[in-house]
Amino acid sequence: MHEKEHVIQVLEQTKEAIRNDDVLKLKDLSNQTIHSASTEQDTDSITIAIVIYSLSKIIERKHQYGEKECREFSMFAFKEIDNVLKILKKDGEGAFTKSLEGIMKRLAKSSSEFKSHINEVFEKARINKASKIYEHGISMEQTAKLLGISMYELASYAGQKGSANVPYAKTMSVRDRIKIAMDFFG
């Protein structure tokens, strides 16, 4: 894992956002982590981004999925994130990934209806975050490998979303490129 201090800061803020049911903050933290993970292509940071984004969706849809189960799941995630922070602060980066995966394994103890909702949230989060990484200029094949999804799933999602609104996908006009080249070469 790269940028350990950044990850610790993001996880501390995640705990606070979970405590306050702050969906927007969770989404923002997930996006920050994806931006960082894209430059490093760090799978641990990608996992963090997926977990945080999934938590935002679970909290956002608690009325739809069942408030009690969503609250229990959020509190479990809060405790696991706290464990992850303790591990990271003690330089136990290897055990860190297992602790994060514990959040996803918690689904096995959930009711079947809640489990299917949450599995769907995690799967859509994985595809959403893959799309964000792809927007940062990582190849579709590499992005699909990093997140364990098919290129077809990524292409379908990225195609629906489009890249016109993504600042990373915008290019300069030919005139602007010529001007830069002329300025550069004198």
Question: Which tokens in the block code for residue 53?
Answer: 């984004």
Report the largest interatomic distance among the alpha carbons of the chain, rounded to a whole angstrom: 68
Give the pLDDT score at 143: 77
Q: What is the average per-residue pLDDT within 84-106? A: 72
Write down the pTM of the prediction. Answer: 0.70
Containing domain of residue 179, as a range? 4-185
In this structure, what DSSP letter does residue 90 have? T
Q: 168-181 pLDDT, tens per residue?
A: 445 677 888 888 88
Q: What is the average per-residue pLDDT within 102-114? A: 66
Evaluate the CA torsion angle 180, 181, 182, 186 in order and state its sign.
positive
- How far is the C-alpha of 102 from the C-alpha of 115, rounded, in Å? 14
| Residues 18 and 26: beta-carbon distance below 8 Å | yes
Give the pLDDT score at 2: 52
Domain count, the chain: 1
| Residues 9 and 48: beta-carbon distance below 8 Å | no
Give the pLDDT score at 13: 95
Q: 1-50 pLDDT, tens per residue?
A: 456 788 889 999 999 999 999 999 999 998 888 877 777 767 778 888 88
| Residues 31 and 133: beta-carbon distance below 8 Å | no
